[in-house]
Structure 1
Amino acid sequence: MMLRGITLLWALVSLTQQAPSQDKCVCEFENSQNIFPREKLSTVEEGASKCNSDITPQQTLDLEILLLGLKRRLPQLEGDVSILEKEDDGDLYGVVSLQVVENELLEIRQLLDRLNSTSRRYQRLTVDATKQLEDLKEEMEEMEMFDTLQVVKGQQDNQRLKRDLDQCRHDLQPSIHPTRRPERADCPHGDFKNISGPRVYTAGEYPGSYIYGAWGQDPKPEVGKEDWYWVVMLTSGNKFSNYVRRYSSLSSLVIGKSVPGNTLIHTANPTTNTIQGPNAVLYGEALYYNCYNQDAVCRFNLTAKTVINLKLPPGTRYNSKSNFCHLDECYHFTDMDLMTDESGVWVVYTTTQDHGNIVLSKMTDGEELRLTQTWHTSVYKQGVTNTFMICGVLYATRYVDKTIEEIFYSFDTMTGVERFDIGVFITKMTPNIYSLNYSPVDQMLHVYSNAKILSYKVIFS
């Protein structure tokens, strides 16, 4: 019985295998769209990466250093030639002086050769990079046809709408906007118009260290210190410091060789009358800054090594209670901002009575430290990222994104007029600008940004 069942089952299986299936269906799939060019996308990405690696801020800095060296050497050569002409005795002195001049000429010739070589190399690089960018643009435009869901187009439309919305907000500010600010008698440069791209960009003496700080030139230097620069780095928790570091030239600052070095305020850090926050400034061989743990401005005389302080009006906010801020971050201990312009030293702060709006005061710059005049504005301090003065006009900045900062506001201390439509943009090399100060010596904006040292040229009409 079992054998018979097995025999029937085997016959059924054999029959099933031999019978052709009537339900089998074959479908052919044909893609009507072009195949996405993944290899071309990889080529574009490699080209963009190569452009980023070929063109860096360091190359601009290389040219800046060479030009600066040439600028300093030529007057020195001129002086030595003048001395040789006046004092040549036709003997040993003349021979030695002539040898000095010959050596200087040789070094200047070498500097010029390096400058020419560097310029030619960067010119070739510019031409090559321009051609690469044009090719990349064409390839990206070709690949846009694969964006069938219009994602890229939608993003571009959103960016245009955002720009239009920002412009609309600026136009609706409830302030009187004069078409042109009258030229000031105390401003020899004309009207403030724009900001150049970065002129100096360096990691300084301690690359990557000391995120917060400030730097610049003394607008009222002692004789012999006209070319000196100063740097204050917050060395204790990115909040406090107890010294100011000096450099005998911009070249020394760029290469990180400090001469004469540090001038110490106190051996402890922090302690009474040491530096709190990044917004310090040097004027008349004295450092002005927010005193540690006080609602006061300190003035440290670098020659006498003495400190005097000025208590600000009652209700002044301090100890990181009213910082410069943007939506993602506040810059700690920026309650006060010390600034210089053509007329002297200024301080920005806020009080409880002003409900967080910026208060601006002019200060004396001598041993008798006091406020001479005060103005109250309508711009909220925590909606601002930095302030600076030019010819008695206060300017305020705000964070746009990681690469752009906008100078959006001004307050004219002569007329009392506020404007919210300045619309001058600063191209940033790092996301946050922790200190920003105008130098009337060379009309530069000195910026300390995420441990980087930068400067921008102010453009006047």
Structure 2
Amino acid sequence: MIVTLHFLALLSSTVAWGRGGVIGEGRNGTAGGGGDRCTCEAFLPSSTFPVRDLVVVEQTAEEILHKLDLEMGKLEEYEIKMTAYVEKILKLTVEIEEMEKHSSDYNDADFADMKVEIKQVEALIKELQASISGSVTVFESLRVESTAMDEALTRLEKTYDKNWVLVTRREYVKIQLQLETCERRHDELFNPNIGSCAHTGIIRVGKPIVSHLNAHLNAAYKYGGWGKDSKPVPDRESMYWYSGYTSASIVDVRFYTNYQNLILRNHFQHHNLHSSWIGTGNNYIIRDNTLYYQINNPFGLAKLNFTTMKYESRVIAGVSSRFSYPNSINQIFDFAADETGLWVTYSTTESGGRMVIAKIDEASFGVEDEWQTSVYKPGVSNAFMVCGVFYAVRTVDIQTEELFYMYDTNTKQDSYISVQFDRFQDKFSNLDYNPTDQKLYMYNDGYYVKYHLWFNHTVEATAEPSLVLISDKIL
């Protein structure tokens, strides 16, 4: 009797066994001494799956999830402390106001006691600030680890059967969602002013938060954009979009129901643009489920509503096609959206290459007003709008960008600033602000990258008791 075993080996070598023990390595063998034979045939794949690499990634995922659970617990503690401190500050504010109104009723000892209470609150707030800074550092570290994990998974997906890494990819999605939850809780606690323009501008840009490589799993798709709808229609508040290509063109758009499906590259809609609607350049945005972008024939603005599939185009007289951002050709029109509406920037022959800001009426798709800046477009790597204020960005070195110029359309005043931030990769083709979460979205050499923004907030007048400014160091 002869028994033949056929199997697919995932090991680097195989051993054939017979009745007498080991009889051959990686080849057929026959046991001696008897009539019965056991033949083992091994078929090795052309390349072996690196199981050890996958195990390392899975272990990393477990460690990151454990650290995230700890940080979530800390955020809950911060929230409790923050509530208690606010109540204490409000109580002190009322007491101080009472002392100011009836100062003759209080002696030096009363004022000394109040100073002691203020110092105690100040110490508590300093302690909380240190804890918050520690959590932010942990988040940034975990982002770096999760990015490295995603790169490893992407490499395995591109080289081997995706089913082998599907389970680990799901673990990566859990990490990304947990990080998103932590960051959202952090924003709610310490940056609760989303939607408010009661600030004097951006004072800091966070570290690059890298989601992963584009949906095509192809680093050659260096041109494109991604992000969220800046004015989402009902039931699409959590939707993300992506469009990428190997050249500075826009030929299609993919939509994802939420961040999880973006990470899993599981789109629910995919629109290929009609040949006559194909755009150029990379500074397009999606607002109110409508794509706003640049076309070349005729050279001008275009909009495509994905709800009605209605297409429109407009020509703006005087716009020059000579002036583009240096990172990509055909970056003539740059669409932007903020808390106040829809904008587009460009240069004209009359402005001599200096950038012009235009407010767009969304209903008529016409220009409402224009403002000319003093910044020369070829010296700008990209730009965006926040609360009616134009921000220009320039490249400092191979790793660093800088917000260096701002123009306030409300006051018609401009100024030079210096707020630096890091890139993930060398070049980027799209940078836009989204007012729904106050984040910057960058398409960076094929990767989805975003940034937290910090603003210099001013105190809004309200009917509620205002917080007393105990010390400059507290704020």
TM-score, scaled relative to structure 2: 0.55
Alignment counterpart, residue 275 of structure 1, candidates 276, 279, 298? 279
- Answering whether residue 273 of structure 2 is matched by residue 265 of structure 1, we say yes
Give the residue type in structure 2 aligned to 1:364.
Answer: D
In the other structure, the counterpart of 1:399 is 395
- Answering whether residue 375 of structure 2 is matched by residue 379 of structure 1, we say yes
Q: Give per-residue Cα distances to partners, 1:226-251, cap 9 Å, x unaligned.
A: 00011121x3x512222211011112
Alignment counterpart, residue 350 of structure 2, candidates 338, 353, 359? 353
Between Structure 1 and Structure 2, the one with more strand by share is 2
Give the residue type in structure 2 aligned to 1:263.
Answer: H
For 1:190 and 1:376, the matched residues in 2 are separated by: 21
Percent same amino acid at aligned positions?
28
Residues 356 and 380, structure 1, Cα contact 8 Å, conserved in 2: yes
- Answering whether residue 307 of structure 2 is matched by residue 303 of structure 1, we say yes
Give the residue type in structure 2 aligned to 1:227.
Answer: S
Q: How far apart are residue 191 of structure 1 and its match?
A: 3.4
Give the residue type in structure 2 aligned to 1:317.
Answer: S
Structure 1 pair 415/452, CA: closer, same or farther in 2 (3 Å)?
Answer: same
DSSP 3-state at the match of 1:432: coil
Structure 1 pair 220/63, CA: closer, same or farther in 2 (3 Å)?
Answer: farther
Structure 1 pair 291/65, CA: closer, same or farther in 2 (3 Å)?
Answer: farther
Residues 343 and 357, structure 2, Cα contact 8 Å, conserved in 1: yes
Unmatched 5+ stretches in structure 1? 1-53, 72-118, 127-184
Structure 1 pair 186/291, CA: closer, same or farther in 2 (3 Å)?
Answer: same
Q: Give per-residue Cα distances to partners, 1:404-459, cap 9 Å, x unaligned.
A: 01110100101111112x11111111011211000001000000011111000011
Q: How far apart are residue 393 of structure 1 and its match?
A: 0.3
Residues 64 and 199, structure 1, Cα contact 8 Å, conserved in 2: no
Q: How many residues were matched structurally? A: 281
DSSP 3-state at the match of 2:449: strand
Structure 1 pair 250/356, CA: closer, same or farther in 2 (3 Å)?
Answer: same
Residues 248 and 282, structure 2, Cα contact 8 Å, conserved in 1: yes
In the other structure, the counterpart of 2:213 is 203
- Answering whether residue 228 of structure 2 is matched by residue 250 of structure 1, we say no
Q: How far apart are residue 305 of structure 1 and its match?
A: 0.9
Give the residue type in structure 2 aligned to 1:379.
Answer: V
Structure 1 residue runs of 4 or more that deviate by more than 4 Å after TM superposition: 61-67
Q: Give per-residue Cα distances to partners, 1:342-369, cap 9 Å, x unaligned.
A: 1111111011111111011000122x21
Coordinate RMSD, CA, aligned: 3.2
Q: How far apart are residue 199 of structure 1 and its match?
A: 2.7
Alignment counterpart, residue 250 of structure 2, candidates 220, 224, 241? 241
In the other structure, the counterpart of 2:448 is 453
Residues 64 and 200, structure 1, Cα contact 8 Å, conserved in 2: no
Structure 1 pair 364/213, CA: closer, same or farther in 2 (3 Å)?
Answer: same
For 1:344 and 1:402, the matched residues in 2 are separated by: 33
DSSP 3-state at the match of 1:331: coil
DSSP 3-state at the match of 1:253: helix
Q: Give per-residue Cα distances to partners, 1:54-76, cap 9 Å, x unaligned.
A: 99xx98x9769978xx99xxxxx
Give the residue type in structure 2 aligned to 1:356.
Answer: G
Q: Give per-residue Cα distances to partners, 1:52-102, cap 9 Å, x unaligned.
A: xx99xx98x9769978xx99xxxxxxxxxxxxxxxxxxxxxxxxxxxxxxx
For 2:329 and 2:443, the matched residues in 1 are separated by: 15
For 2:64 and 2:296, the matched residues in 1 are separated by: 39
Residues 296 and 312, structure 1, Cα contact 8 Å, conserved in 2: yes
Q: Give per-residue Cα distances to partners, 1:304-346, cap 9 Å, x unaligned.
A: 11111121122x123xx31112xxxx41111111111111111
Structure 1 pair 202/311, CA: closer, same or farther in 2 (3 Å)?
Answer: same
DSSP 3-state at the match of 1:382: helix
In the other structure, the counterpart of 1:426 is 421
Q: How far apart are residue 190 of structure 1 and its match?
A: 5.7
DSSP 3-state at the match of 1:423: strand
Q: How far apart are residue 189 of structure 1 and its match?
A: 5.6
- Answering whether residue 340 of structure 2 is matched by residue 343 of structure 1, we say yes
Alignment counterpart, residue 320 of structure 2, candidates 298, 317, 321? 317
In the other structure, the counterpart of 1:129 is none
TM-score, scaled relative to structure 1: 0.56
Residues 204 and 255, structure 1, Cα contact 8 Å, conserved in 2: no
Instruction: For 1:356-367, list aligned pairs within 5 A.
Output: 356-366=353-363
In the other structure, the counterpart of 1:31 is none
Residues 231 and 245, structure 1, Cα contact 8 Å, conserved in 2: yes
For 1:346 and 1:449, the matched residues in 2 are separated by: 22
In the other structure, the counterpart of 2:163 is none
For 2:210 and 2:455, the matched residues in 1 are separated by: 19
Give the residue type in structure 2 aligned to 1:265.
Answer: L
Residues 391 and 403, structure 2, Cα contact 8 Å, conserved in 1: yes
Give the residue type in structure 2 aligned to 1:256.
Answer: R
DSSP 3-state at the match of 1:201: strand
Residues 248 and 328, structure 2, Cα contact 8 Å, conserved in 1: no
Structure 1 pair 431/222, CA: closer, same or farther in 2 (3 Å)?
Answer: same
For 1:216 and 1:188, the matched residues in 2 are separated by: 25
Structure 1 pair 406/414, CA: closer, same or farther in 2 (3 Å)?
Answer: same
Give the residue type in structure 2 aligned to 1:243.
Answer: D
DSSP 3-state at the match of 2:332: coil
For 1:426 and 1:199, the matched residues in 2 are separated by: 12
In the other structure, the counterpart of 1:389 is 385
In the other structure, the counterpart of 2:98 is none
- Answering whether residue 289 of structure 2 is matched by residue 294 of structure 1, we say no
Structure 1 pair 413/276, CA: closer, same or farther in 2 (3 Å)?
Answer: same
Alignment counterpart, residue 212 of structure 1, candidates 212, 216, 223? 223
